[in-house]
Chains A and B, each alone.
Chain A
Amino acid sequence: MSTQQQEPESQESPQDPEMKGTESPQQRRLREKQEGMVEDQAEKETEVEGETVHLKVFRYDPEVADKQEPRFDDFHVPFEKGMTVLDAVMYARDEFDSSLTFRHSCRQAVCGSDAFFVNGKQRLGCKTQISDLQQPVRIEPLPHQEVVKDLVVDMDHFYDQMHAVEPYFQNDDTPDSSDLEEQRQSRENREKVKMSTRCIWCGACMSSCNIAAGDNEYLGPAAINKAYKFAMDDREPEDVKEHRLRILEQEHGVWRCQTQFSCTDVCPKDIPLTEHIQELKREAVKKNLKFW
């Protein structure tokens, strides 16, 4: 189903009653997808004038015969100033192939849905300008995660790791909220945790990490950063902080990190992930916790 391969005969085949009399439309489409002859993108594409962007997009669907073996489809979409990778795949989906599947929602780098592997690097589709990329633009799902379909990966493992660090504020001794009394926090302390709070759970860091790729139990940069946010927040009491460090210094915790900075490099929110992990290692040493 490349946009390059035009097969005009495919327009005829649905009318052939002889062969396909007994199959349902859904079965027919499944078969046609399998035979790779249903698309007419090439036709549409020739209508497009002016500058176009050449995309090579990863395709896979466990249910559709010719997509069970992963492949790349070519799309040529008209370029507009300001066009992002997300704009380009949305155009390809809406104009050429409505089965092209990817997560996306806010289009402004806060929902964290659309981390893809673009030209060999983990990036947010909505935050990546096409004009900054070499063509053809190669768009793949995040590596090291199971692919559900096309650009959609299974995020369950990522979420499990995020949940494993007790990712919620713990202080049993807060003032009575009906007195409208807040916990005090210094500006400096708020500034210290600021970058860590910007995480949007996109999973780019985890996908880029060699250690996480080899050790499935490694908490990974995002979860450790989540723990950092709480551990460094002065509003949590000392005993909770110690409890957090014990979670982090376990076998698959902070000591697994080999400071390759790949996570920091790909983070779309510029969070200094590696530095946060290093700082937690130092805290663990200070607390005389064992390390692996």
Chain B
Amino acid sequence: MYEHDVIVVGAGGAGLRAAIAANEAGADTAIVSKLHPVRSHTGAAEGGINAALQEGDDWELHAYDTMKGSDYLADAPAVETLAQDAPEDTITLEHWGMPFSREDDGRVSQRPFGGLSYPRTTYAGAETGHHLLHTMYEQVVKRGIQVYDEWYVMNLATTDEDDPNDRQCEGVVAYDVQSGTVEGFKANQSVILATGGPGQAFDHTTNAVSCTGDGHAMAYRAGAPLEDMEFIQFHPTSLPSTGVLISEGVRGEGGILYNNEGERFMFEHGYANNSGELASRDVVARAELTEVNEGRGIEDEYVHLDMRHLGEERIMDRLENILHLAEDFEGVDGLIEPMPVKPGQHYAMGGIEVDENGQTCVNGLYAAGECACVSVHGGNRLGGNALPELIVFGKRAGRHAAGEDLGEPEIRTGYGDDVEDEDDTELPVAPGAAGLDSSDAVADGGVAAETGTLERAVERERERVDRLMERDEGVQHAEIRAKLQKAMTDYVNVFRTEDGIKKALKIIRECREEYQNVYVDDPSRTFNTDLQHTIETRNLIDVAETIALGALVRNEFRGAHWRQENQIRDDENWLKHTLVSWDDGAPDIFYRPVILEGQDKTYEPKVRSY
């Protein structure tokens, strides 16, 4: 048994920032992560950090742009906190030595980005996330913060009161990947989840293979609702074979999208007569898939992104790294042939419901970063807004988790008198653990007695590992995962229909049933990635189900979520967040109104056009 005041799960941008803040607030802090910190997926972020640093810009403009970009589904108190805190928190990174790109006068550079009214994206080359991650890890080393790397957190140890709002998170149960030992980590004050995105719920994603929604699933099963999970951003230009991202910069420089007939379809088929390839991400992604669906894709799968006409000189000057990406990951030379691209899952706007201080409705349980939903992104995240979220809300969660007073939050969490129940939508199958043998539906929120909560959680997880290892035959996780990912990409992708989503829910149900018979073939306790991936797959099933449930009930078109049956933004009925609560295995869907009232003004919904 290990014991610390604050336990941070995950060591990407949000986790490292939270740990530094908790440590500075005087808490004995430890990070538990399935990856060594520098392996975290924050390192793949290219763009930059939006922060109103320059004269002429101010936080109110940043907040306004973010509310508009969110399609009015972000909560104003969260957005204003982001915009207000981002400048100082960005400068702090500079003081920690982060190698930002510079202007002639030696100040940090900022550049324009989509959806921003001012060039406020602070960057470090085209590898801002890499530098952010490494700079913060350096600070963790400097402060001597304990890191348990390659320890996979399997579950939370939470008390078992009926109402999740009364529960207390007392620690986590983790498994040492190297030795296979299962141990408890007692948190004297709090646990902060910073486990990143759930991109692996889809079979074509820009996310790392480690992005399996572990934190989402653990918090969900412990009673914290997941919020706005249907809002998934699909990036229009990812490489087909790996999902590696080709930056928007190619189209910004003049790159052109063609279908298999050589048509410049963004114009020729009328998807975006004004902005063409530079229309917003969701518009371009839908256009590409329409081309493929109507038989004008290449190999029925992708379209071409051509930059050859820009000339070698310009490409080498501004887009050199794109040449390397296309060459290394697709075997294509962008100077002599067009690059294959298709939409790929990129980012989850939703996540674990938290307030401005990072706290969930479960006492002592926090979340920050992509796994959390404050919400600052609402229906659509603007480029350059993910990294400031990590540092601003990572820091706030760390401070609050360590006992600092950050004031009363304005955002409410958990089931309460301000929510509205969903009872109209007919579900094709029962979601959640319903009907399954509970001994096999492991880790189903499992709540222990008042005393010895952690000890019992450890025991339960040890039994779970034994069961997975002992089971002799059945199905392997890779098969279930592939089936789940395919269903999500087939039916809960860029285009969503009621029938399709219902098909996905049925397949997810099948996956859950098949998972009852999952087994781990690798008999070794040493570095058993087979076991780890098997546990991750269970998490993906839970997370995928919440995405599909959200997509089914939200019958409107807002931000990244498109529904065939109602292709308009329906402000009269849908200015509200979707919440899905595990409810001990029988998921419950309810809604909480979005907060459009800021500290000085109300953000009235307007048409989102650029």
With A193-B99, A194-B125, A197-B99 as given contacts, are A99 and B41 in contact (CB-CB < 8 Å)? Answer: no
Which chain A residues lie closer than 8 Å to B470 at the CB level? 24-26
In the complex, the answer to whether A129 meets B526 with C-beta atoms within 8 Å is no
List CB contacts (< 8 Å) of A122-152 with chain B: 126-127, 129, 131, 148-150, 152
- Whether, in the assembled complex, A286 has its beta carbon less than 8 Å from a beta carbon of chain B, the answer is no
Query: What residues of chain B lie closer than 8 Å to A230, measured between beta carbons?
Result: 97
Do A83 and B208 touch across chains, with their CB atoms under 8 A apart?
A: no
Q: Which residues does chain B contribute within 8 Å of A180, judged by CB atoms?
A: 53, 87-88, 91
Indicate if the CB atoms of B523 and A109 lie closer than 8 Å.
no
A83 to B142, CA, bound (A): 40
- A104: Cβ under 8 A from any B Cβ: yes
B208 touches A106 (CB 8 A): yes
Would you give the 0/1 interface string for B310-354, flagging 1 where the beta carbon is closer than 8 Å to chain A? 000000000000000100111110000000000000000000000
With A107-B243, A177-B88 as known contacts, state yes or no: A63 contacts B524, CB within 8 Å. yes
Residues of B within 8 A of A105 (CB): 35, 39, 41, 208-210
Instruction: Given A112-B38, A184-B107, decide whether A190 and B328 contact each other with a Cβ distance below 8 A.
Output: no
Q: Can you name the residue of chain A whose Cβ is closest to the Cβ of B534?
A: A98
- Whether, in the assembled complex, B418 has its beta carbon less than 8 Å from a beta carbon of chain A, the answer is no
- Bound Cα distance from A230 to B96, whole angstroms: 11
- With A26-B470, A107-B244, A108-B242 known as contacts, the answer to whether A168 contacts B330 (CB < 8 A) is no
Stretch at the interface among A27-35, A50-58, A242-250, A275-283: A27-35
A235 CB contact (under 8 Å) in B97, B139, B332: B97
Chain A residues contacting B107 (CB-CB under 8 Å) are 182, 184
Contact in complex: B138, A29 (CB < 8 Å): no
Are A168 and B43 in contact, CB atoms less than 8 angstroms apart?
A: no
In the complex, residue of chain A having the shortest beta-carbon distance to the beta carbon of B331: A82
Query: Which of A30, A168, A175 contacts B139, CB < 8 Å?
Result: A168
Does B95 interact with chain A (Cβ within 8 Å)?
Answer: yes
Q: Does A285 contact B (CB under 8 A)?
A: no
A187–B91 CA distance with the chains assembled, in angstroms: 18
Q: Shortest CB–CB separation between residue A198 and chain B, in angstroms? A: 7
CA distance in complex: A187, B472 (Å): 61
One digit per residue, 1 when the CB lies within 8 angstroms of any chain A CB and 0 when it does not, for chain B 19-54 equals 000000000000000011011110110000000010
Q: Contact check, A64 vs B38: say whether CB atoms are below 8 A apart.
A: no
Quick check: A184 and B53 within 8 Å, CB to CB?
no
Using Cβ atoms and an 8 Å threshold, which residues of chain A touch B607? none
Most buried by A among B100, B245, B523: B523
- The answer for the CA separation of A99 and B39 in the assembled complex, in Å, is 22
Task: Give the contacting residue for B95; candidates A84, A102, A174, A198; CB below 8 A.
Answer: A174
Closest to A166 in B: B142
Q: Give the docked Cα–Cα distance between A36 and B334 (Å).
A: 46
A94 at the A/B interface (Cβ < 8 Å)? yes
From B106, B108, B242, B330, A107 is in contact (CB under 8 Å) with: B242
Residues of A within 8 A of B99 (CB): 190, 193-194, 197, 229, 233
CB contacts (< 8 Å) of B522 on chain A: these are 98-99, 101
Nearest Cβ on chain A to B445's Cβ, whole angstroms: 28
Contact with A along B500-518 (1 / 0, CB 8 A): 0000000000000000000
Q: Is A200 an interface residue (CB 8 A)?
A: yes
A80 interface residue per 8 A CB criterion: yes
**Bound Cα distance from A98 to B529, whole angstroms:** 8
Which among B94, B178, B521, B529 is the interface contact of A183 at CB below 8 angstroms?
A: B94
B1 within 8 A of A: no
Interface size on B, residues (CB 8 A): 74
Instruction: Report the separation of the CA atoms of residues A193 and B524 in the bound assembly, to the nearest whole angstrom.
Output: 44
Binary flags per residue of B120-163, CB closer than 8 Å to A gives 1, else 0: 00000101011100110011011000000000000000000000
- Assembly CA distance A236 to B138 (angstroms): 15
Asked if A107 and B527 make an inter-chain contact with CB atoms under 8 angstroms apart, the answer reads no
A22 at the interface (CB under 8 A from B): no
Question: In the complex, how many angstroms separate the beta carbon of B55 from the nearest chain A beta carbon?
Answer: 10
Chain A minimum-CB-distance residue to B95: A174
In the complex, A46 has a CB within 8 A of chain B: no
- Interface pair B95/A63, CB less than 8 Å apart: no
Please tell me if A78 contacts chain B, counting CB pairs below 8 Å.
Answer: no
Instruction: Tell me which of A103, A163, A169 contacts B97 (CB under 8 A).
Output: A169
> B526 touches which one: A62, A112, A183, A201 (CB < 8 A)?
A62
- Chain A residues within 8 Å of B100, by CB: 182, 190
* Cβ-defined contact, B130 with A110, below 8 A: yes
Q: Which of A108, A113, A236 has the most CB of B within 10 A?
A: A108
Residues of A within 8 A of B471 (CB): 25
Name the residue of chain B whose CB is nearest to the CB of A67.
B524
* A111 touching B138 in the complex, CB below 8 Å, given contacts A63-B526, A182-B107: no
In the docked arrangement, what's the CA distance between A233 and B43, Å? 22
Out of A14, A131, A171, A198, name the residue touching B127 (CB < 8 Å): A198
Q: Are A168 and B142 in contact (CB under 8 A)?
A: yes
- Residue total for A at the interface (Cβ-Cβ under 8 A): 76
Judging by beta carbons under 8 Å apart, are A98 and B472 in contact?
Answer: no
- B106 close to A197 (CB less than 8 A): no
Q: Which residues of A contact B525 (CB under 8 A)?
A: 63
Given contacts A30-B523, A167-B138, A187-B102, contact A155 B44 (CB under 8 A): no
| Contact of A290 with B by CB under 8 A | no
A168 with B130: CB separation less than 8 A: no
Pair B527/A110 contact, Cβ less than 8 Å: no
CB distance from A19 to the nearest CB of B (A): 15
A291 interface contact, C-beta 8 A: no
- A80 touching B241, Cβ below 8 Å: yes
Residue of A nearest to B469 (CB): A26
Are the CB atoms of B101 and A108 closer together than 8 Å?
no
Within 8 A of B (CB), among A80-103: 80-84, 87, 93-95, 97-99, 101-103
Partner among A61, A111, A187 whose Cβ is within 8 Å of the Cβ of B43: A111
A97-B101 Cα distance, complex, nearest whole Å? 46
Please, which residues of chain A bring their CB within 8 A of the CB of B449?
A: none
Contact of A129 among B35, B129, B178, B331 (CB under 8 A): B331
Q: Which residues of B contact A198 (CB under 8 A)?
A: 127, 130
Provide the residues of chain A in CB contact with B332, threshold 8 Å.
82
Bound-state Cα–Cα, A95 to B521, Å: 12
A186 within 8 A of B: yes
State which of B103, B329, B477, B529 has its C-beta within 8 Å of the C-beta of A84.
B329
Contact status of A98 and B40, CB under 8 A, knowing A108-B242, A168-B139, A180-B87? no
Contacting pair B95 A177 (CB below 8 A):
yes
A108 to B91, CA, bound (A): 29
**A33, A63, A87, A111 — which one has the most chain B CB atoms within 10 A of its CB?**
A111
Q: Complex: how many Å from CA A99 to CA B521?
A: 7
Contact present for A94 and B478 (CB under 8 Å): yes
Q: How close is A112's CB to chain B, nearest CB, in angstroms?
A: 7
**Interchain CA distance A81-B131 in the complex, whole Å:** 32
Which residues of A have CB within 8 Å of B520? Answer: 98
Contact between chains at A200 and B130 (CB < 8 Å): yes
Q: 29 A–B contact pairs at CB < 8 A?
A: A14-B472, A25-B470, A29-B521, A61-B524, A64-B523, A80-B241, A82-B332, A98-B477, A101-B522, A101-B530, A106-B44, A107-B209, A107-B244, A108-B245, A108-B325, A113-B35, A149-B524, A159-B36, A168-B138, A180-B53, A180-B88, A182-B107, A185-B102, A186-B102, A187-B103, A190-B100, A197-B131, A200-B38, A229-B99
7 tightest Cβ-Cβ pairs between the two chains A and B: A169-B97, A184-B106, A25-B472, A99-B522, A168-B142, A168-B138, A174-B95
Please give the residue numbers on chain A whose beta carbons come within 8 Å of chain B beta carbons, in ascending order. Answer: 14, 24-26, 28-30, 33, 61-64, 80-84, 87, 93-95, 97-99, 101-113, 126-127, 129, 131, 148-150, 152, 155, 159, 163, 167-169, 171, 174-175, 177-178, 180-187, 190, 193-194, 197-198, 200-201, 229-230, 233, 235-236
By a beta-carbon cutoff of 8 Å, the part of chain B in contact with chain A is: 35-36, 38-41, 43-44, 53, 87-88, 91-92, 94-97, 99-108, 125, 127, 129-131, 134-135, 138-139, 141-142, 178, 208-210, 239, 241-245, 325, 328-332, 469-473, 476-478, 482, 520-530
Other 6 A-B pairs with CB < 8 A, given A26-B523, A163-B141: A87-B241, A93-B478, A105-B39, A167-B141, A169-B95, A190-B102
